[in-house]
Structure 1
Amino acid sequence: MNIRLVHIKVRDLFNGYKDNGDNGVVAYGGKLDVRPAYQREFVYKPEQQQAVINTLSKGYPLNVMYWADHGNGHYELIDGQQRTLSICTFLNGDFSCAGLFGIKQPQAFHTLPEDLRVQLLDYELTVYICDGTESEKLEWFKTINIAGEELTDQELRNAVYTGPWVSDAKRYFSKTGCAAYGLGSKYLKGTANRQDYLETVIYWYGDRENPQTEHRGMHDEAPAGSECPRPLGLFSTCHRMGRGALPHLSQGDEGASLGDLLQ
């Protein structure tokens, strides 16, 4: 596995920044997935956002960030989402910050003198970019996923096994108000945007001891542009059967048993 250290200016990170809501957040010329589509949204408290910007204004080191290299110049942010969003939303004019450069009054980015704006834009971020096999990247992501807002196992797998199948599956199982939520939210534990529903249906469909194996297999076998009717069909069938066959189960407990009906 190749892990390389790069330094990226804030101006380059902010270039192409766009918040598309449920469809994700991109930056770095549209080449960096800051928050993938249908993933839960972490929100820093205002004082945490301001602390990030104050760190930049003083030239202090900001904690390193980790990106995954998906090839073709495309990256996904693995660690550092909130620092990145704090920077981009401040530059975008979404909030003000007090105490910047010794200025007591809260300042938005556009109200700062030009020389101070340039100073912020020229700040260099420290980023480690990982490029390797899927198993190597998954192991590395698990290693660095030890603090802050930790990713779930399924979120980590989604970051490694990318492709049309995963993107399409997330429409059905990860989006707020998705098809799986409408069918069976009252019978399942967890939440859609933490990838709990997607993990459950992959568990039903494939290898229960090694769900990452089935996740990888679906990704590898799916042709470009294909959709994911198999897991959605299984989910729908289990839901229909479960409603009649498992009426005695409590809400939340059914999620562990519905998949057994077709095994």
Structure 2
Amino acid sequence: MSLSDEIKTARKQVVTDGYEMSVGEIINLYKENELIIDPVFQRLFRWDDERKTRFIESIILGIPIPPIFVFQNENGVWELIDGLQRISTILQLTGDLKGERADELGPLVLNGTRFLPSLDGKKWSDSKHNAKDGIGQALQIEIKRARVRVEILKSESDTSAKFELFQRLNTGGSSLTPQEVRNSITVSLNPKFYKWLVEHSENRHFVKTTGQTTVSLDAQAGVELALRFFAFRAVPYTAGLDVHEYLDDAVIKMAQNQNYKMQEEGSIFNDTFKYIDEALGTSAFKRWDGKRFSGKFLMSVFEVIATGVSKNIVEIKSLKEEKRSDFIKTAAKNLWSDEKFTRYSGAGVRGTTRLSRLLPLAETFLKP
């Protein structure tokens, strides 16, 4: 296919529209549930009060607001794709933000700024009572009448277009991790699949063997590891494909596959990490130096051991517990003597090369 043909095909996958709306209209859409901010997405609302104040100041001073991006589903309802921090700040200010995040944050109290020092301590307040700490009815109306451009991705677009748009808008200077971006789109594609994925990432054997810290849990590292496990089993890795592009593609395929056997795959996941925990505990997925397991969690060991055990789960499950644990522990030690593993698991090896070389090794290496 020529470049011009590729461009034509790609453009057909994205159907867009857009127009300007007032902030007040956007607030009303949200209140009427015609603009949806998914609770999972809402948890990514992270601006501190200083950034929120600077944004509100920009509205007051008439500085143009960057566009927000929404996906219009088949019912005409808009799902927010980009603009979470800005829209949530406005909704928190006006007291219209809904959900657990709203309860956590409480009312937005503004700070003083270089241009508007008198904003300090001000909040929305009921305009009828003209509270001393309120910004006043005139300013409330002015904020509601401010204009913002809304870019709309129509439902006729290819499903992956929503993911692609959100990813491109949120992985530049953003603080979102690749998995947080993935989570936000996965939940809109298949909430049941997303919930299932998160539940397995919280499996006690999985959490223990992967040694997740509070920081890694907050960054959704556990969800990404669980996704890797399921993806390696369900979606063959294409050599040369960027690891995160592979995971993006895999999660879409699994979330949209109505025949994906979540119950069966979940059972294999639970057995896999139960057996690894029984054999290695917190030493799982660490370096063997010839005497003991030590150091930090290693992705290369996780990819081989977890995938290998899962691919041979029937045979491994049939072993008696003591023999099963000895088998897994011995394999984890012997892995560090395997020429292919040591060659392609080093720090200087690209993730694409590592996956293409080590995933095929996993099944045979862990075969009883």
Q: Is the 8 A contact 1:38 1:171 kept in 2?
A: no
Aligned to 1:135, which of 149, 153, 160?
160
> Counterpart in 1 of 2:35?
32
Q: Which residue of 1 aligns with 2:196?
A: 172
Can you list the C-alpha shifts for 1:90-115, whole angstroms capped at 9, x where unaligned? 11171222459957153111223222
- TM-score normalised to structure 2 length: 0.57
Could you say which residue in structure 1 is the equivalent of 2:202? Answer: 181
Q: Which runs of 5+ in 1 are unaligned?
A: 17-26
Shift of 1:48: 0.2
How many residue pairs get matched? 246
Question: Aligned partners of 1:192, 1:198: CA distance in 2, in Å?
Answer: 15
Q: What is residue 176 of structure 2 aligned with on the other side?
A: 150
Higher strand fraction (1 or 2): 1
Paired residues of 2:71 and 2:153 also in contact (CA < 8 A): yes
Q: What's the secondary structure of 2:153's corresponding residue?
A: strand
What runs of 5+ residues in structure 2 fail to find an aligned partner? 1-13, 96-105, 126-133, 238-245, 287-295, 312-368
Where does 1:70-89 land on structure 2 (aligned, <5 Å)? 70-89=73-92
**Deviation digits for residues 53-95 of structure 1, max 9, x if unmatched?**
1111112112222222333123332222111111111111712
Q: What is the identity, as a one-letter code, of the residue corresponding to 1:252?
A: F
Per-residue deviation at 1:169?
A: 2.8
Q: Which has the higher contact order (CA 8 A, sep 6+)?
A: 1
Alignment match, 1:238: 272
Question: Structure 2: how far apart are the matches of 1:144 and 1:227?
Answer: 32
Measured in 2, the distance between the counterparts of 1:212 and 1:113 equals: 47
Higher helix share: 2
Amino acid at match of 1:222: Q
The residue identity in structure 1 corresponding to 2:141 is: V
In the alignment, residue 205 of structure 1 is paired with which amino acid?
A: R
2:135 counterpart residue number: 112
**Which has more radius of gyration?**
2
Q: 1:6 to 1:260 in 2, by over 3 A?
A: farther
SS at match of 1:63: strand
Using structure 1 for the length normalisation, give the TM-score. 0.76
Matches within 5 A, 1:192-231: 194=220, 195-209=223-237, 210-222=246-258, 228-231=262-265
Comparing 243-252 with 42-51, greater Cα deviation is found at 243-252
Q: 2:306 aligns with which of 244, 258, 263?
A: 258
Partners of 1:215 and 1:114 in 2: CA distance: 47
Identify which of 8, 18, 22 aligns with 1:5: 18
Identity of aligned residues (%): 15
RMSD: 3.3
Measure, in 2, the Cα distance between the counterparts of 1:38 and 1:147. 18
